[in-house]
Amino acid sequence: MSLTAPRFLSRRQIALGLIAASQVAATPVIPPKSPVVTVLGDSITAGLGLPARDAMPAQLQVALQRMNVFAKVRAAGVSGDTSGGGLARVNFSIAPDTALCVVALGGNDLLQGVEPRVTKANLRSIMQSLRNRRIRAVLVGIAAPPLIGGSYARDFNAIYPALAKEFAAPLYPNLLAGVGGSRQLMQGDGIHPNAAGARLIGQKLAPLVAQALRTARTT
Positions marked active-site: 43, 189, 192
Nearest CA to 172 among 206, 144, 148? 206
Q: Write the burial class of residue 89 (CB in 10 Å: 0-12 exposed, 13-18 middle, 19+ buried).
A: middle
Beta bridge partners, 140, equal 172
C-alpha distances in angstroms, 205 versus 57, 59, 92, 105, 148? 10, 10, 24, 15, 26
Spell out a b/e string for 155-175, using b for 16 or more CB atoms within 10 Å of the CB, else e.
Answer: bbbebbeebbeebebbbbebb
% helix, strand, coil for the chain, step of 5? 50, 15, 35
